[in-house]
Amino acid sequence: MWQSYTNGLLVAFGLIMAIGTQNAFVLAQSLRREHHLPVAALCVLCDALLVAAGVFGLATVLMQNPTLLAVARWGGVVFLIWYGSQALRRACSQQSLQKQEDQGLRSRRAVLLSALAVTLLNPHVYLDTVLLIGSLGAQQTVPGAYVAGAASASLLWFFTLALGAAWLAPWLARPGTWRLLDLLVAVMMFAVAAQLVLS
């Protein structure tokens, strides 16, 4: 049981620690102190559900249905280009120089819906979380312990990211930081979209 748990923990850590769209979103929300803890909790919940779905059968279904994979791929490309364009627009506008408090906080519902979109409209979440982590978990002696290990990795990572960034917010919340962050997010979104188109 503990071996399966440790395997899930290590595999999930290895994949989620890479800077991706979900991590960039959590980081941005944490720097703004805008509903960052509910966002982290939502990301953990989504990861746990997707890993469980992959371990207990969805990975096999997706691998056998090229149409579903194509829909996830091209839907993700459209979303990533749109999200990257929004970040690039903010990076190039004077408004990006204002602190979030001056602009007014978005509602928790709006932020959580954005987090859900960033998580579920990104095809990499299905390729990495469902197919890769899920297919590895299906081969474990105790698949449930593997899912728990992967969920633990997600919990540790996202709450560390959310709390750490929020703690550093007074030092990081400078005008140039917002522009740079938005620019990095835009580049990342476009790079992932290009990778999906070319793959």
What is the band of 44 on the pLDDT scale with cuts at 50, 70, 90? very high
Cβ count near 76 (within 10 Å): 22
Q: pLDDT tens for residues 164-190?
A: 886 776 666 566 766 777 787 778 768
Q: Structural domain of residue 118, as residue ranges?
A: 2-198
Q: Find the range with the poorest average confidence among 8-12, 36-40, 91-95, 99-103.
A: 99-103
**Domains identified in the chain, total number:** 1
Least confident of 7-16, 167-176, 186-195: 167-176
Q: 80-103, pLDDT tens digit by residue? A: 788 788 878 877 875 543 444 445
Nearest partner of 130 among 39, 62, 78, 193, judged by Cα = 62
